[in-house]
Amino acid sequence: MIDKDLIADKKSLKNKLMNSEKLAGFVFISPWLFGFLAFMIAPMLLTLYYSFTSYNIVGNPIFIGLQNYTDIFNDPKFYTALKVTFTYVFFSVPLRLAFALVLAVIFNQAQKLTDFYRAVYYIPSILGGSVAVAVLWRQMFGYYGAVNTILMSLNLLERPISWIHTPDTALWTLILMAVWQFGSPMIIFLAGLRQIPDSLYESASIDGANWSQKFFKITIPLLTPVIFFNVIMQIIRLFMAFTRVYIITQGGPIDRTLVYVLYLFRKAFRHTELGYASALAWILLIIMAVITFIIFRSSKYWVFYQSEEGE
Amino acid sequence: MNKEKLYPIIYHLIIISVGFIMIYPLLWMVAGSFKTLDTALDPSLIPNKLNFENYVQGWQGFGDLTFATFFKNSFIIATVSTIGQIFLSALAAYGFTRLEFPGRKILFGIMIATLLLPRTILRIPQYILFNEIGWIDSFKPIILPRFFPRPFFVFMIVQFLRGISKELDRAAMVDGCTRYGVFFRVLLPTLKPALITSAIFSFYWAWNDFMTPLLYIQSTELYPVSLALQLFSDPNSVTNWGAMFAMGTLSILPVFIIFLFFQRYIVEGVSTSGLKQ
Protein backbone atom coordinates (compact mmCIF):
# COMPACT_ATOMS: atom_id res chain seq x y z
CA MET A 1 0.00 0.00 0.00
CA ILE A 2 2.70 2.42 0.99
CA ASP A 3 4.61 1.58 -2.16
CA LYS A 4 1.59 2.32 -4.26
CA ASP A 5 1.13 5.71 -2.60
CA LEU A 6 4.73 6.49 -3.17
CA ILE A 7 4.46 5.65 -6.83
CA ALA A 8 1.36 7.77 -7.15
CA ASP A 9 3.18 10.58 -5.37
CA LYS A 10 6.12 10.28 -7.67
CA LYS A 11 3.84 10.30 -10.66
CA SER A 12 2.04 13.40 -9.53
CA LEU A 13 5.36 15.05 -8.78
CA LYS A 14 6.52 14.20 -12.25
CA ASN A 15 3.31 15.58 -13.73
CA LYS A 16 3.65 18.66 -11.65
CA LEU A 17 7.17 19.20 -12.86
CA MET A 18 6.29 18.50 -16.46
CA ASN A 19 3.44 20.98 -16.30
CA SER A 20 5.16 23.73 -14.37
CA GLU A 21 5.44 26.72 -16.63
CA LYS A 22 8.07 28.40 -14.49
CA LEU A 23 10.29 25.35 -14.55
CA ALA A 24 9.80 24.90 -18.30
CA GLY A 25 10.76 28.52 -18.81
CA PHE A 26 14.05 28.06 -17.01
CA VAL A 27 14.70 24.74 -18.72
CA PHE A 28 14.29 26.33 -22.15
CA ILE A 29 16.44 29.36 -21.48
CA SER A 30 19.04 27.45 -19.44
CA PRO A 31 21.44 26.89 -22.36
CA TRP A 32 21.40 30.59 -23.05
CA LEU A 33 21.73 31.40 -19.35
CA PHE A 34 24.67 29.05 -19.00
CA GLY A 35 26.40 30.42 -22.09
CA PHE A 36 25.72 33.95 -20.89
CA LEU A 37 27.22 33.34 -17.45
CA ALA A 38 30.10 31.11 -18.54
CA PHE A 39 31.12 32.79 -21.78
CA MET A 40 30.12 36.37 -21.16
CA ILE A 41 29.74 37.49 -17.56
CA ALA A 42 32.56 35.36 -16.14
CA PRO A 43 35.04 36.37 -18.87
CA MET A 44 34.10 40.02 -18.47
CA LEU A 45 34.71 39.95 -14.74
CA LEU A 46 37.87 37.90 -15.15
CA THR A 47 39.16 40.38 -17.72
CA LEU A 48 38.52 43.13 -15.20
CA TYR A 49 40.45 41.18 -12.58
CA TYR A 50 43.37 40.42 -14.92
CA SER A 51 43.52 44.08 -15.87
CA PHE A 52 44.81 44.78 -12.35
CA THR A 53 47.49 42.13 -12.60
CA SER A 54 50.70 41.33 -14.35
CA TYR A 55 50.22 37.97 -16.01
CA ASN A 56 52.09 36.14 -18.74
CA ILE A 57 50.19 32.80 -18.58
CA VAL A 58 53.08 30.91 -16.97
CA GLY A 59 52.85 31.30 -13.23
CA ASN A 60 50.15 33.20 -11.41
CA PRO A 61 48.73 36.66 -12.02
CA ILE A 62 50.44 39.19 -9.75
CA PHE A 63 48.23 41.99 -8.45
CA ILE A 64 49.69 45.37 -9.45
CA GLY A 65 46.72 47.68 -8.93
CA LEU A 66 46.24 50.36 -11.55
CA GLN A 67 49.73 49.98 -13.00
CA ASN A 68 48.47 48.65 -16.37
CA TYR A 69 46.10 51.57 -16.76
CA THR A 70 48.72 54.19 -15.98
CA ASP A 71 51.12 52.40 -18.35
CA ILE A 72 48.49 52.46 -21.08
CA PHE A 73 47.86 56.16 -20.66
CA ASN A 74 51.59 56.71 -21.13
CA ASP A 75 51.83 54.33 -24.07
CA PRO A 76 52.18 56.21 -27.39
CA LYS A 77 51.03 53.09 -29.29
CA PHE A 78 47.74 53.17 -27.41
CA TYR A 79 47.08 56.66 -28.74
CA THR A 80 48.21 55.62 -32.22
CA ALA A 81 45.78 52.69 -32.13
CA LEU A 82 42.96 54.96 -30.97
CA LYS A 83 43.70 57.51 -33.66
CA VAL A 84 43.88 54.88 -36.40
CA THR A 85 40.66 53.19 -35.29
CA PHE A 86 38.74 56.43 -34.96
CA THR A 87 39.93 57.58 -38.38
CA TYR A 88 38.93 54.26 -39.88
CA VAL A 89 35.48 54.33 -38.28
CA PHE A 90 34.96 58.05 -38.87
CA PHE A 91 35.39 57.69 -42.64
CA SER A 92 34.07 54.18 -43.18
CA VAL A 93 30.75 54.40 -41.37
CA PRO A 94 29.29 57.53 -43.04
CA LEU A 95 30.55 56.52 -46.48
CA ARG A 96 29.30 52.96 -46.12
CA LEU A 97 25.89 54.16 -44.93
CA ALA A 98 25.66 56.82 -47.65
CA PHE A 99 26.25 54.24 -50.36
CA ALA A 100 23.86 51.84 -48.66
CA LEU A 101 21.12 54.47 -48.49
CA VAL A 102 21.53 55.76 -52.04
CA LEU A 103 21.44 52.27 -53.51
CA ALA A 104 18.55 51.22 -51.32
CA VAL A 105 16.56 54.21 -52.63
CA ILE A 106 17.50 53.27 -56.20
CA PHE A 107 16.59 49.61 -55.72
CA ASN A 108 13.33 50.58 -54.08
CA GLN A 109 12.03 51.80 -57.44
CA ALA A 110 9.98 49.43 -59.47
CA GLN A 111 12.36 48.67 -62.31
CA LYS A 112 13.17 45.48 -64.09
CA LEU A 113 16.00 43.32 -62.75
CA THR A 114 16.24 45.08 -59.36
CA ASP A 115 16.36 41.78 -57.49
CA PHE A 116 19.28 40.71 -59.62
CA TYR A 117 21.10 44.03 -59.23
CA ARG A 118 20.55 44.02 -55.50
CA ALA A 119 22.14 40.58 -55.34
CA VAL A 120 25.15 41.78 -57.35
CA TYR A 121 25.70 44.75 -55.05
CA TYR A 122 25.30 42.55 -52.01
CA ILE A 123 27.81 39.90 -53.09
CA PRO A 124 30.95 41.82 -51.99
CA SER A 125 29.50 42.03 -48.49
CA ILE A 126 28.48 38.40 -48.26
CA LEU A 127 31.87 37.19 -49.48
CA GLY A 128 33.84 40.07 -48.01
CA GLY A 129 34.29 38.64 -44.54
CA SER A 130 36.39 35.81 -45.92
CA VAL A 131 40.14 35.51 -45.74
CA ALA A 132 40.14 34.95 -49.50
CA VAL A 133 38.82 38.45 -50.16
CA ALA A 134 41.25 40.02 -47.70
CA VAL A 135 44.14 38.25 -49.43
CA LEU A 136 42.71 39.36 -52.77
CA TRP A 137 42.61 42.96 -51.57
CA ARG A 138 46.24 42.75 -50.55
CA GLN A 139 47.17 41.61 -54.05
CA MET A 140 45.05 44.20 -55.83
CA PHE A 141 46.60 47.08 -53.92
CA GLY A 142 50.10 45.64 -53.84
CA TYR A 143 53.00 46.75 -56.00
CA TYR A 144 52.18 44.28 -58.79
CA GLY A 145 48.43 44.52 -58.27
CA ALA A 146 45.71 45.18 -60.79
CA VAL A 147 44.99 48.64 -59.36
CA ASN A 148 48.38 49.96 -60.45
CA THR A 149 48.09 48.44 -63.89
CA ILE A 150 44.65 49.92 -64.44
CA LEU A 151 45.53 53.38 -63.11
CA MET A 152 48.70 53.47 -65.21
CA SER A 153 46.90 52.43 -68.37
CA LEU A 154 44.47 55.29 -67.73
CA ASN A 155 47.44 57.65 -67.21
CA LEU A 156 46.29 58.41 -63.69
CA LEU A 157 49.49 57.11 -62.16
CA GLU A 158 53.06 57.48 -63.35
CA ARG A 159 54.83 54.63 -61.66
CA PRO A 160 53.52 51.74 -59.59
CA ILE A 161 53.28 52.12 -55.83
CA SER A 162 52.40 49.61 -53.18
CA TRP A 163 49.23 51.12 -51.76
CA ILE A 164 49.25 48.88 -48.73
CA HIS A 165 52.88 49.72 -47.87
CA THR A 166 52.70 53.47 -48.39
CA PRO A 167 52.01 55.22 -45.07
CA ASP A 168 49.61 57.76 -46.56
CA THR A 169 47.49 55.30 -48.50
CA ALA A 170 47.50 52.10 -46.43
CA LEU A 171 44.57 52.99 -44.19
CA TRP A 172 42.60 54.19 -47.21
CA THR A 173 42.79 50.79 -48.86
CA LEU A 174 41.09 49.44 -45.71
CA ILE A 175 38.51 52.21 -45.66
CA LEU A 176 37.77 51.57 -49.32
CA MET A 177 37.22 47.92 -48.55
CA ALA A 178 34.86 48.78 -45.68
CA VAL A 179 32.86 51.12 -47.91
CA TRP A 180 32.77 48.52 -50.68
CA GLN A 181 30.87 46.20 -48.34
CA PHE A 182 27.76 48.28 -47.78
CA GLY A 183 25.42 45.36 -48.46
CA SER A 184 23.95 44.64 -45.02
CA PRO A 185 22.91 48.20 -44.18
CA MET A 186 21.60 48.50 -47.76
CA ILE A 187 19.30 45.52 -47.22
CA ILE A 188 18.15 46.96 -43.89
CA PHE A 189 17.48 50.36 -45.49
CA LEU A 190 15.52 48.65 -48.25
CA ALA A 191 13.33 46.88 -45.72
CA GLY A 192 12.79 50.23 -44.00
CA LEU A 193 11.93 51.99 -47.25
CA ARG A 194 9.33 49.36 -48.08
CA GLN A 195 7.51 50.19 -44.86
CA ILE A 196 6.98 53.80 -45.87
CA PRO A 197 3.46 53.97 -47.26
CA ASP A 198 3.20 54.99 -50.93
CA SER A 199 0.26 57.22 -50.06
CA LEU A 200 2.64 59.69 -48.40
CA TYR A 201 4.59 60.15 -51.61
CA GLU A 202 1.41 60.33 -53.65
CA SER A 203 -0.12 63.09 -51.57
CA ALA A 204 3.22 64.93 -51.61
CA SER A 205 3.22 64.72 -55.41
CA ILE A 206 -0.27 66.14 -55.53
CA ASP A 207 0.95 69.02 -53.37
CA GLY A 208 3.65 69.61 -55.98
CA ALA A 209 6.67 68.33 -54.04
CA ASN A 210 9.73 67.55 -56.15
CA TRP A 211 12.14 64.66 -55.85
CA SER A 212 14.49 66.21 -53.30
CA GLN A 213 11.67 67.53 -51.13
CA LYS A 214 10.17 64.06 -50.96
CA PHE A 215 13.55 62.56 -50.12
CA PHE A 216 14.43 65.00 -47.34
CA LYS A 217 10.93 65.59 -45.96
CA ILE A 218 9.50 62.06 -46.13
CA THR A 219 12.12 59.40 -46.76
CA ILE A 220 14.87 60.57 -44.41
CA PRO A 221 12.67 61.41 -41.39
CA LEU A 222 10.72 58.17 -41.62
CA LEU A 223 13.93 56.24 -42.03
CA THR A 224 15.69 57.72 -38.98
CA PRO A 225 14.98 54.70 -36.73
CA VAL A 226 16.68 52.48 -39.30
CA ILE A 227 19.54 54.95 -39.76
CA PHE A 228 19.97 54.98 -35.99
CA PHE A 229 20.17 51.19 -35.85
CA ASN A 230 22.63 51.03 -38.76
CA VAL A 231 24.88 53.73 -37.29
CA ILE A 232 25.20 51.87 -33.98
CA MET A 233 25.74 48.45 -35.51
CA GLN A 234 28.26 49.68 -38.07
CA ILE A 235 30.28 51.68 -35.55
CA ILE A 236 30.56 48.61 -33.31
CA ARG A 237 31.36 46.31 -36.21
CA LEU A 238 34.05 48.53 -37.71
CA PHE A 239 35.55 49.37 -34.35
CA MET A 240 36.21 45.65 -33.96
CA ALA A 241 38.03 45.31 -37.31
CA PHE A 242 40.74 42.71 -37.04
CA THR A 243 40.99 39.93 -39.61
CA ARG A 244 41.32 42.11 -42.70
CA VAL A 245 43.88 44.38 -41.08
CA TYR A 246 45.83 41.40 -39.82
CA ILE A 247 45.94 39.96 -43.33
CA ILE A 248 46.23 43.04 -45.53
CA THR A 249 48.61 45.39 -43.72
CA GLN A 250 49.54 43.73 -40.41
CA GLY A 251 49.12 47.13 -38.82
CA GLY A 252 51.91 48.65 -40.89
CA PRO A 253 53.49 50.63 -42.40
CA ILE A 254 54.88 52.38 -39.30
CA ASP A 255 51.68 51.59 -37.36
CA ARG A 256 49.54 53.62 -39.74
CA THR A 257 46.90 50.86 -39.75
CA LEU A 258 47.39 49.59 -36.21
CA VAL A 259 43.72 49.27 -35.28
CA TYR A 260 42.82 48.88 -31.63
CA VAL A 261 41.88 45.20 -31.68
CA LEU A 262 45.06 44.31 -33.55
CA TYR A 263 47.10 46.08 -30.88
CA LEU A 264 45.16 44.28 -28.17
CA PHE A 265 45.70 40.96 -29.94
CA ARG A 266 49.45 41.54 -30.21
CA LYS A 267 49.79 42.51 -26.57
CA ALA A 268 47.75 39.52 -25.43
CA PHE A 269 48.86 36.72 -27.69
CA ARG A 270 52.17 37.77 -29.21
CA HIS A 271 53.79 39.45 -26.23
CA THR A 272 51.64 37.49 -23.72
CA GLU A 273 51.13 40.60 -21.63
CA LEU A 274 47.70 39.37 -20.63
CA GLY A 275 47.19 41.83 -17.78
CA TYR A 276 48.03 44.80 -19.97
CA ALA A 277 45.83 43.47 -22.78
CA SER A 278 42.95 42.94 -20.35
CA ALA A 279 43.18 46.57 -19.35
CA LEU A 280 43.13 47.48 -23.06
CA ALA A 281 40.00 45.32 -23.42
CA TRP A 282 38.20 47.10 -20.59
CA ILE A 283 39.14 50.49 -21.96
CA LEU A 284 37.70 49.37 -25.29
CA LEU A 285 34.50 48.25 -23.58
CA ILE A 286 34.17 51.61 -21.85
CA ILE A 287 34.81 53.51 -25.10
CA MET A 288 32.13 51.48 -26.87
CA ALA A 289 29.70 51.96 -24.01
CA VAL A 290 30.26 55.74 -24.05
CA ILE A 291 29.82 55.96 -27.82
CA THR A 292 26.65 53.85 -27.73
CA PHE A 293 25.31 55.89 -24.82
CA ILE A 294 25.94 59.19 -26.62
CA ILE A 295 24.21 57.96 -29.78
CA PHE A 296 21.27 56.66 -27.76
CA ARG A 297 20.95 59.95 -25.90
CA SER A 298 21.24 61.96 -29.11
CA SER A 299 18.54 59.85 -30.73
CA LYS A 300 15.69 61.78 -29.17
CA TYR A 301 16.79 64.84 -31.13
CA TRP A 302 16.92 63.24 -34.53
CA VAL A 303 15.13 59.89 -34.54
CA PHE A 304 11.42 60.01 -35.24
CA TYR A 305 9.25 57.10 -34.33
CA GLN A 306 6.10 56.93 -36.38
CA SER A 307 3.88 56.07 -33.44
CA GLU A 308 4.83 59.33 -31.71
CA GLU A 309 4.44 61.39 -34.85
CA GLY A 310 1.26 59.85 -36.14
CA GLU A 311 -0.94 61.10 -33.31
CA MET B 1 13.48 59.57 -77.81
CA ASN B 2 11.11 60.70 -75.07
CA LYS B 3 11.99 60.99 -71.44
CA GLU B 4 10.04 57.94 -70.24
CA LYS B 5 11.96 55.66 -72.55
CA LEU B 6 15.35 57.21 -71.96
CA TYR B 7 15.23 57.03 -68.16
CA PRO B 8 15.23 53.21 -67.81
CA ILE B 9 18.12 52.94 -70.27
CA ILE B 10 20.27 55.38 -68.30
CA TYR B 11 19.22 53.65 -65.08
CA HIS B 12 20.29 50.23 -66.29
CA LEU B 13 23.52 51.55 -67.80
CA ILE B 14 24.63 53.23 -64.59
CA ILE B 15 23.60 50.35 -62.34
CA ILE B 16 25.36 47.82 -64.53
CA SER B 17 28.60 49.80 -64.82
CA VAL B 18 28.83 50.55 -61.10
CA GLY B 19 27.84 46.95 -60.36
CA PHE B 20 30.61 45.75 -62.61
CA ILE B 21 33.18 47.82 -60.69
CA MET B 22 31.72 46.41 -57.46
CA ILE B 23 32.26 42.79 -58.38
CA TYR B 24 35.37 43.33 -60.49
CA PRO B 25 37.75 42.29 -57.67
CA LEU B 26 35.91 39.01 -57.23
CA LEU B 27 35.76 38.34 -60.96
CA TRP B 28 39.46 39.15 -61.11
CA MET B 29 40.20 36.53 -58.49
CA VAL B 30 38.13 33.89 -60.28
CA ALA B 31 39.75 34.79 -63.62
CA GLY B 32 43.18 34.73 -61.99
CA SER B 33 42.57 31.21 -60.76
CA PHE B 34 42.47 30.03 -64.38
CA LYS B 35 45.34 32.13 -65.72
CA THR B 36 48.87 30.90 -66.17
CA LEU B 37 51.33 32.05 -63.56
CA ASP B 38 52.98 34.79 -65.65
CA THR B 39 49.63 36.50 -66.29
CA ALA B 40 47.90 35.81 -62.95
CA LEU B 41 48.18 39.44 -61.81
CA ASP B 42 47.09 40.88 -65.15
CA PRO B 43 43.98 43.07 -64.78
CA SER B 44 42.14 41.32 -67.61
CA LEU B 45 39.14 39.20 -66.73
CA ILE B 46 39.60 36.73 -69.54
CA PRO B 47 42.24 34.06 -68.92
CA ASN B 48 44.61 33.55 -71.84
CA LYS B 49 43.61 29.93 -71.79
CA LEU B 50 41.41 27.98 -69.43
CA ASN B 51 43.86 25.95 -67.42
CA PHE B 52 43.13 24.06 -64.24
CA GLU B 53 46.78 23.76 -63.28
CA ASN B 54 46.30 26.24 -60.39
CA TYR B 55 43.54 24.15 -58.89
CA VAL B 56 45.63 21.00 -59.10
CA GLN B 57 48.66 22.74 -57.58
CA GLY B 58 46.68 24.60 -54.94
CA TRP B 59 44.77 21.53 -53.83
CA GLN B 60 48.06 19.76 -53.07
CA GLY B 61 48.35 22.12 -50.14
CA PHE B 62 51.37 22.17 -47.88
CA GLY B 63 53.65 19.31 -46.95
CA ASP B 64 51.54 16.17 -47.11
CA LEU B 65 48.30 17.99 -46.28
CA THR B 66 45.93 18.70 -49.14
CA PHE B 67 43.08 21.18 -49.12
CA ALA B 68 40.75 18.23 -48.58
CA THR B 69 41.91 18.28 -44.95
CA PHE B 70 41.35 22.02 -44.56
CA PHE B 71 37.89 21.88 -46.12
CA LYS B 72 36.99 18.93 -43.91
CA ASN B 73 38.10 20.88 -40.83
CA SER B 74 36.08 23.93 -41.82
CA PHE B 75 33.02 21.78 -42.46
CA ILE B 76 33.29 20.05 -39.08
CA ILE B 77 33.66 23.34 -37.21
CA ALA B 78 30.89 25.13 -39.10
CA THR B 79 28.40 22.25 -39.11
CA VAL B 80 28.74 21.14 -35.50
CA SER B 81 28.60 24.66 -34.12
CA THR B 82 25.62 25.54 -36.32
CA ILE B 83 23.55 22.55 -35.22
CA GLY B 84 24.13 23.27 -31.53
CA GLN B 85 23.72 26.99 -31.96
CA ILE B 86 20.41 26.87 -33.80
CA PHE B 87 18.76 24.23 -31.66
CA LEU B 88 19.68 25.89 -28.38
CA SER B 89 18.76 29.35 -29.72
CA ALA B 90 15.32 28.06 -30.67
CA LEU B 91 14.88 26.66 -27.14
CA ALA B 92 15.76 30.02 -25.63
CA ALA B 93 13.49 31.89 -28.05
CA TYR B 94 10.58 29.64 -27.09
CA GLY B 95 11.27 30.16 -23.40
CA PHE B 96 11.40 33.93 -23.79
CA THR B 97 8.27 34.32 -25.92
CA ARG B 98 5.88 31.65 -24.75
CA LEU B 99 6.55 30.90 -21.11
CA GLU B 100 5.99 33.02 -18.05
CA PHE B 101 8.66 32.72 -15.39
CA PRO B 102 10.14 35.09 -12.82
CA GLY B 103 12.74 37.46 -14.29
CA ARG B 104 11.79 36.74 -17.88
CA LYS B 105 11.57 40.37 -18.97
CA ILE B 106 14.80 41.37 -17.26
CA LEU B 107 16.71 38.43 -18.69
CA PHE B 108 15.37 39.12 -22.17
CA GLY B 109 16.42 42.75 -21.82
CA ILE B 110 19.90 41.68 -20.76
CA MET B 111 20.13 39.35 -23.71
CA ILE B 112 19.16 42.13 -26.13
CA ALA B 113 21.74 44.43 -24.52
CA THR B 114 24.46 41.84 -25.12
CA LEU B 115 23.75 42.17 -28.86
CA LEU B 116 25.87 45.29 -28.58
CA LEU B 117 28.70 43.72 -26.59
CA PRO B 118 31.94 43.51 -28.55
CA ARG B 119 33.01 39.92 -28.17
CA THR B 120 36.68 40.70 -28.57
CA ILE B 121 36.92 41.66 -24.94
CA LEU B 122 35.99 38.12 -23.89
CA ARG B 123 38.90 36.50 -25.69
CA ILE B 124 41.61 36.73 -23.06
CA PRO B 125 39.95 34.83 -20.17
CA GLN B 126 38.53 32.30 -22.61
CA TYR B 127 42.03 31.70 -23.90
CA ILE B 128 43.40 31.38 -20.38
CA LEU B 129 40.62 28.94 -19.47
CA PHE B 130 41.04 26.74 -22.54
CA ASN B 131 44.79 26.83 -22.11
CA GLU B 132 44.40 25.75 -18.47
CA ILE B 133 42.26 22.73 -19.32
CA GLY B 134 44.54 21.70 -22.18
CA TRP B 135 42.16 22.38 -25.06
CA ILE B 136 44.62 24.38 -27.14
CA ASP B 137 45.17 22.92 -30.59
CA SER B 138 41.77 21.27 -30.85
CA PHE B 139 38.38 22.25 -32.27
CA LYS B 140 36.80 22.35 -28.82
CA PRO B 141 37.60 25.97 -27.92
CA ILE B 142 36.33 27.05 -31.35
CA ILE B 143 33.11 25.05 -31.30
CA LEU B 144 32.06 25.22 -27.65
CA PRO B 145 31.48 28.99 -27.32
CA ARG B 146 29.63 28.87 -30.66
CA PHE B 147 27.35 26.19 -29.30
CA PHE B 148 25.53 28.43 -26.87
CA PRO B 149 22.70 30.66 -28.07
CA ARG B 150 23.88 33.87 -29.66
CA PRO B 151 21.55 36.80 -28.91
CA PHE B 152 21.32 37.59 -32.63
CA PHE B 153 19.74 34.22 -33.41
CA VAL B 154 17.53 34.11 -30.33
CA PHE B 155 16.24 37.54 -31.26
CA MET B 156 15.63 36.51 -34.87
CA ILE B 157 13.66 33.42 -33.82
CA VAL B 158 11.80 35.43 -31.16
CA GLN B 159 10.64 37.83 -33.88
CA PHE B 160 9.40 34.91 -35.92
CA LEU B 161 7.67 33.23 -32.96
CA ARG B 162 5.81 36.42 -32.17
CA GLY B 163 4.16 36.08 -35.54
CA ILE B 164 2.85 32.60 -34.77
CA SER B 165 -0.51 32.50 -33.00
CA LYS B 166 -0.50 31.23 -29.42
CA GLU B 167 -3.73 29.39 -30.24
CA LEU B 168 -1.53 26.75 -31.82
CA ASP B 169 0.17 26.09 -28.46
CA ARG B 170 -3.12 26.09 -26.58
CA ALA B 171 -4.75 23.64 -28.95
CA ALA B 172 -1.83 21.27 -28.59
CA MET B 173 -1.91 21.54 -24.80
CA VAL B 174 -5.63 20.83 -24.72
CA ASP B 175 -4.78 17.67 -26.67
CA GLY B 176 -2.46 16.65 -23.86
CA CYS B 177 0.90 17.94 -25.03
CA THR B 178 3.30 19.20 -22.38
CA ARG B 179 5.17 22.44 -23.03
CA TYR B 180 8.09 20.38 -24.18
CA GLY B 181 5.85 18.52 -26.60
CA VAL B 182 4.45 21.81 -27.90
CA PHE B 183 7.94 22.99 -28.68
CA PHE B 184 9.21 19.85 -30.34
CA ARG B 185 6.10 18.69 -32.17
CA VAL B 186 4.26 21.90 -32.95
CA LEU B 187 6.56 24.90 -32.97
CA LEU B 188 9.86 23.51 -34.18
CA PRO B 189 8.39 22.49 -37.56
CA THR B 190 6.69 25.85 -38.07
CA LEU B 191 9.91 27.68 -37.17
CA LYS B 192 11.70 26.24 -40.15
CA PRO B 193 12.17 29.50 -42.11
CA ALA B 194 13.69 31.28 -39.09
CA LEU B 195 15.88 28.26 -38.36
CA ILE B 196 17.15 28.14 -41.93
CA THR B 197 17.98 31.84 -41.83
CA SER B 198 19.82 31.46 -38.54
CA ALA B 199 21.62 28.36 -39.75
CA ILE B 200 22.87 30.19 -42.84
CA PHE B 201 24.34 33.00 -40.77
CA SER B 202 25.78 30.70 -38.16
CA PHE B 203 27.46 28.52 -40.78
CA TYR B 204 28.70 31.56 -42.65
CA TRP B 205 30.27 33.16 -39.57
CA ALA B 206 31.89 29.94 -38.45
CA TRP B 207 33.18 29.27 -41.96
CA ASN B 208 34.75 32.73 -42.24
CA ASP B 209 36.07 32.89 -38.70
CA PHE B 210 39.76 33.60 -38.67
CA MET B 211 40.65 34.99 -35.27
CA THR B 212 39.45 32.03 -33.19
CA PRO B 213 41.35 29.32 -35.10
CA LEU B 214 44.32 31.69 -35.28
CA LEU B 215 44.33 31.73 -31.48
CA TYR B 216 43.71 28.07 -30.79
CA ILE B 217 45.00 25.97 -33.68
CA GLN B 218 48.69 25.26 -33.97
CA SER B 219 49.02 22.04 -35.97
CA THR B 220 48.59 22.47 -39.70
CA GLU B 221 46.48 19.31 -39.93
CA LEU B 222 43.78 21.05 -37.87
CA TYR B 223 43.78 24.25 -39.94
CA PRO B 224 40.44 25.37 -41.34
CA VAL B 225 40.45 26.85 -44.85
CA SER B 226 40.60 30.42 -43.53
CA LEU B 227 43.95 29.76 -41.84
CA ALA B 228 45.30 27.58 -44.64
CA LEU B 229 44.84 30.36 -47.20
CA GLN B 230 47.24 32.45 -45.16
CA LEU B 231 49.98 29.86 -45.71
CA PHE B 232 50.10 30.74 -49.41
CA SER B 233 51.52 34.12 -48.65
CA ASP B 234 54.56 33.25 -46.64
CA PRO B 235 56.55 36.48 -46.93
CA ASN B 236 59.77 34.47 -47.15
CA SER B 237 58.83 32.55 -50.27
CA VAL B 238 57.54 33.47 -53.68
CA THR B 239 53.77 33.38 -53.60
CA ASN B 240 52.02 31.22 -56.12
CA TRP B 241 49.21 33.67 -56.96
CA GLY B 242 47.44 31.28 -59.29
CA ALA B 243 47.17 28.53 -56.69
CA MET B 244 46.14 31.02 -54.04
CA PHE B 245 43.41 32.49 -56.25
CA ALA B 246 42.22 28.97 -57.05
CA MET B 247 41.90 27.95 -53.41
CA GLY B 248 40.50 31.38 -52.51
CA THR B 249 37.80 30.88 -55.12
CA LEU B 250 37.02 27.41 -53.78
CA SER B 251 36.89 28.74 -50.21
CA ILE B 252 34.17 31.27 -51.01
CA LEU B 253 32.24 28.83 -53.20
CA PRO B 254 30.16 27.25 -50.37
CA VAL B 255 29.14 30.70 -49.13
CA PHE B 256 28.33 31.79 -52.67
CA ILE B 257 26.22 28.70 -53.35
CA ILE B 258 24.30 29.19 -50.11
CA PHE B 259 23.73 32.80 -51.11
CA LEU B 260 22.43 31.79 -54.56
CA PHE B 261 19.93 29.30 -53.22
CA PHE B 262 18.89 30.95 -50.00
CA GLN B 263 19.06 34.61 -50.95
CA ARG B 264 15.52 35.19 -49.76
CA TYR B 265 16.32 33.85 -46.28
CA ILE B 266 19.49 35.93 -46.02
CA VAL B 267 17.74 39.12 -47.08
CA GLU B 268 14.90 38.44 -44.66
CA GLY B 269 17.32 37.72 -41.84
CA VAL B 270 19.29 40.91 -42.37
CA SER B 271 16.07 42.90 -42.66
CA THR B 272 14.52 41.59 -39.44
CA SER B 273 17.71 42.30 -37.56
CA GLY B 274 17.27 45.98 -38.34
CA LEU B 275 13.55 46.45 -37.97
CA LYS B 276 10.82 45.82 -35.49
CA GLN B 277 13.10 46.30 -32.50
Whether the CA torsion A293, A295, A298, A302 is positive or negative: it is negative
Is some CB atom of chain B closer than 8 A to the CB atom of A292? yes
Does residue A221 fall inside a structural domain?
Answer: yes
Residues A6 and A101 in one domain: no
Residues A241 and A288 in one domain: yes
Residues A120 and A159 in one domain: yes
Least confident stretch, A201-215, A235-249, B144-158 = A201-215
Mean per-residue pLDDT over chain B, rounded = 84
Residues A149 and A193 in one domain: yes
Parent domain of A11: 2-50
The CA distance from A308 to the nearest CA of chain B, in Å, is: 15
The CA distance from B89 to the nearest CA of chain A, in Å, is: 7
Residues A90 and A141 in one domain: yes
The CA distance from A42 to the nearest CA of chain B, in Å, is: 8
Q: What is the pLDDT of residue A249?
A: 84
- Residue B234: list chain A partners with CB under 8 A: none
Residues A111 and A23 in one domain: no
Which ipTM score applies to this complex?
0.85
Q: Please write the tens of the pLDDT for every residue from A151-184.
A: 888 878 777 788 888 888 888 989 999 999 998 8
Segment A103-111 shows an average pLDDT of 83
The CA distance from B131 to the nearest CA of chain A, in Å, is: 9
pLDDT at position B80 over 90:
yes
What fold characterizes domain B67-231? MetI-like fold (1.10.3720)
Residues A77 and A174 in one domain: yes
pLDDT at position A93 over 70:
yes
A54 beta partners: A62
Residues A233 and A196 in one domain: yes
Q: Which residue in the set B22, B43, B178 is minimally distant from A120, CB to CB?
A: B22
Could you tell me the CA-to-CA distances from B182 to B47, B74, B167, B178 in Å, in that order? Answer: 57, 35, 11, 6
Please give the tally of structural domains in chain A: 2
Residues A113 and A17 in one domain: no
- Residue A48: list chain B partners with CB under 8 A: none
Does residue A60 fall inside a structural domain?
Answer: no
Burial of B266 per CB tally in 10 Å (0-12, 13-18, 19+): buried
Does residue A303 fall inside a structural domain?
Answer: yes
Nearest to B186 by CA among B201, B164, B204: B164
Does the beta-carbon distance from A112 to B232 stay under 8 Å? no
Residues A124 and A171 in one domain: yes
Dist CA A84 CA A205 (whole Å): 46
Q: Which residue in the set B111, B117, B248 is minimally distant from A132, CB to CB?
A: B248
Dist CA A229 CA B260 (whole Å): 27
Percent of all residues in chain A with a pLDDT value above 90, rounded to a whole number: 25
Cβ atoms A124, A180 nearer than 8 A:
yes
Contact residues, A window 27-46, toward B, CB-based 8 Å cutoff:
27-29, 31-36, 38-40, 42-44, 46
Residues A260 and A300 in one domain: yes
Which CATH number belongs to the domain containing residue A225 in this structure?
1.10.3720.10
Does residue A64 fall inside a structural domain?
Answer: no
Q: Please write the tens of the pLDDT for every residue from A261-304.
A: 999 999 898 888 999 999 999 999 999 999 989 988 888 888 87
- Residue A29: list chain B partners with CB under 8 A: 91-92, 95-96, 107
Residues A160 and A268 in one domain: yes
| A146 membership: H or E segment, kind and range | helix A146-153
- CB contacts < 8 A, A to B, total 261
Q: Please write the tens of the pLDDT for every residue from A22-32.
A: 888 888 888 88
Does residue A55 fall inside a structural domain?
Answer: no
**Apex CA A39: angle with CA B74 and CA A235, to 5°?**
80
